[in-house]
Every structure is written in structure tokens, then in C-alpha cells.
Amino acid sequence: MKIYRARYGGVCFGVKRAIKMALEAAEKWKRVYSLGPLIHNRLAVEDLQKKGIITVSHINEIKNKKVIIRSHGVHPDILKKLQNNGFEIVDATCPRVRRAQRYVEMLIKEGYYVVIIGEKDHPEVKGLLGYGGDNAEIYSEHVAIKKRKIGVVPQTTLDLGHLNEVVSNLMSNVLEMKIYNTICRATNSRTKEAVRIAKKADAMIIIGGKNSANTTRLYQMCKKYKPSHHVESVKDINLNWFKNIKSVGVTAGASTPKEQVEEV
Ligand code: SF4
């Protein structure tokens, strides 16, 4: 069977950088705590835990006051709380996410009402919202935004087509709109390539955590073109999927380690 393997699949620069920083911190301090999983991949998180990188969901669970901020960034109130309480902080916020946070701050200073486009429960989006304070909200198709001046900042892993749709919806109610296209190049390249492969292959395998938003989006995108399967590891593969097909495309989300891709 012919296999089309994506060149852009797998762990992105921001997640790789955060893991490297966390491993260095764990080596120095023996243990470092991450507020939420460092990477949206269950198997990788289990592996990191063995190396001293412990996932917690609340500051109170941090036992040694050593914390890593993951690539998604964090709400500024949480950062302040950590600083005010004497935590040692390794800030692994992806520079591209940090840039999006700065755009939100700039828009607020310039008097725009900020609309963040992305998944409302995603940590990056919650963090961006924090930088906008009371003058920002997360876009919802069910709520009309009626403001004179709005600034738009998308989540870094948003699909460009979705950004275009939302911008044209918002346009009908505003006088002025300023858009920062903060969609990450890694996301764009990965999505475009996955679609290109899905068009020519008979089926698609998308590797990544079931809790990874960008992997799920890749899967949804691919299944518009061909039968597609979202797997976390090689154990999830069912050989019946490949009966009567001649080719399969393989891609992976931004939080899927290389070893998991190789194994599949
Ligand atoms: S997808 Fe892009 S912005 Fe998000 S963490 Fe990875 S490199 Fe950074």
C-alpha cells in the first residue's frame, strides 16, 4: 500500500520548546509543575511525568513552588498570583502566542473592543481573553457584537477559512475593524498539506491526542474528503480500515511526538 506521509505533521516549534524548557527545569529542580498538560497528548504527558514534570490543575497543588507556563500561555491574573506568591517560574509561552497576547493589549490601548476567535475552553483563548479584560469577548455565532470599533485576534491554531467566515459575519455590525492574523504558520502549513494529501489518498490516519484541539480539527478537515481515522497510538489501528484501498495518508497534530508518528 502506498503511504503519503505529511512533512508538516507532528510537534510544533512552540510545544518542542516548552518540553525542552520543562526537561531542563525538572533536571535542575528534580520536579516542576505544569498548570494543565504541557502537551495535549496523554501518552506524552505520562512519559513527562516519569521525568519529573507533573501536571496539576490548580496552583495549590504545586508542592515546591516551581512552575512552568506551557506554550499556550496563561491568564495574566494567574501569572501575577504566581509572581506575588514567590513561585519560581519558567515561562514557556510560545513566542507566537505571546505576540497574540501583545496584540490584544495593543488593541485595548487603542480603544478597540477585542473579539477573540477560538475555542472558549482552550487555555490559549482563556489567556488571550485575560489580556483584554472587560473589553474583550470570545466570539460566539449566537451573540451579535454591536460595537463601533472592534479588534480581532484569532487563536493561533484556528483554520483560516473559519477566520474569514467570522470576519465577514462581524463586518455587518461594525464601523471599523482591525484584524491581527495570529494564525500560526505551523497550523496553516499542516492544514493545507493534510487537505492536499486527503484529496489524493484513499483514506487518512490522523495521529494525536483525543484532547488535542488541532488534531481533532485536522481529522474533521480530512474526513470531508476521505474516510479518516483519528488515532492516539498504533494500538487504535484497525486493519480492516485498509481493506480494498491502495493508499493511505498519514498526518499528525501539533502536539504529537515524533515517536508516536514513527510507531504508527
Ligand atoms: S501551533 Fe504555533 S503558536 Fe501554537 S504553540 Fe505551536 S508554534 Fe506556537
CATH number assigned to the domain comprising residue 35? 3.40.50.11270
Total structural domains in the chain? 3
Claim to verify: residue 117 and residue 151 sit in the same structural domain: yes
Choose among 109, 117, 48, 59: nearest CA to 89: 59
Task: Indicate which residues carry an active-site annotation.
Answer: 124
Residues 39 and 126: beta-carbon distance below 8 Å: no
Residue 208's pLDDT band (boundaries 50, 70, 90)? Answer: very high
The DSSP letter of residue 153 is E
**Residue 102 sits in which domain range?**
96-179
CA of 222 to the centre of ligand 1 (A): 21
Same domain, 175 and 197: no
| Cα–Cα dist 252/100, whole Å | 24
Of residues 35 and 40, the one with the higher pLDDT is 35
CATH of the domain at 139: 3.40.1010.20
62 and 18 in a common domain: yes
15 in contact with ligand 1, CB cutoff 6 A:
yes
Task: Enter the DSSP assignment of 223.
Answer: T
Residues 144, 88 share a domain: no
Query: Are 39 and 75 members of one domain?
Result: yes
Neighbours of 138 (CB within 10 A): 20
Secondary structure letter of residue 235 according to DSSP:
G
* pLDDT-above-70 percentage for the chain: 100
- How far is it, in rounded angstroms, from Cα 207 to Cα 231? 5
pLDDT digits (tens, 9 = 90+) for 237-257: 999 999 999 999 999 998 888
Domain boundary among 136, 163, 179: 179
Q: Which of 148, 179, 210 is the last residue of a domain?
A: 179
Residues 84 and 159 in one domain: no
Candidate from 96, 99, 189, 218 with most ligand 1 atoms within 8 A of CB, to mutate: 96
pLDDT at 9 over 80: no
Q: Are 84 and 107 within one domain?
A: no
Task: Using the 3D structure, point to which of 179, 206, 240 is the last residue of a domain.
Answer: 179
Q: In this structure, are 222 and 235 located in the same domain?
A: yes
Q: Stretch 50-65: mean pLDDT, rounded?
A: 95
Spatial distance between the Cα atoms of 6 and 18, rounded to a whole number of angstroms = 23
Q: Which three cell numbers mark 255? A: 502536539
Helix (H, G, I), strand (E, B) or coil at 69: strand
d(CA 214, CA 49): 23
Residues 101 and 89 in one domain: no
pLDDT tens for residues 155-204? 998 988 899 999 999 998 899 999 999 999 888 888 899 999 999 999 99
Domain match, 100 and 84 both:
no
- Residue 252 cell numbers, joined: 499528525
- Edge-to-edge strand list for the sheet holding 113-117: 136-138, 113-117, 149-154, 176-179
Q: Using an 8 Å Cβ cutoff, are 117 and 158 in contact?
A: yes
* CB of residue 14 inside a 6 A radius of ligand 1: yes
Confidence bin at 24 (pLDDT 50/70/90) = very high
User: Is the beta carbon of 19 within 6 A of some atom in ligand 1?
Assistant: no
Do 123 and 175 fall within a single domain? yes
Rounded Cα distance between 199 and 225, Å, is 6
Give the closest residue (by CA) to ligand 1 atom 7: 14
Q: Say how far apart CA 68 and CA 170 lie, in whole Å.
A: 36
What is the three-class DSSP state of 147?
A: coil
Sequence-distant (6+) residues with CB within 8 A of 239 are none
231 and 210 housed in the same domain: yes
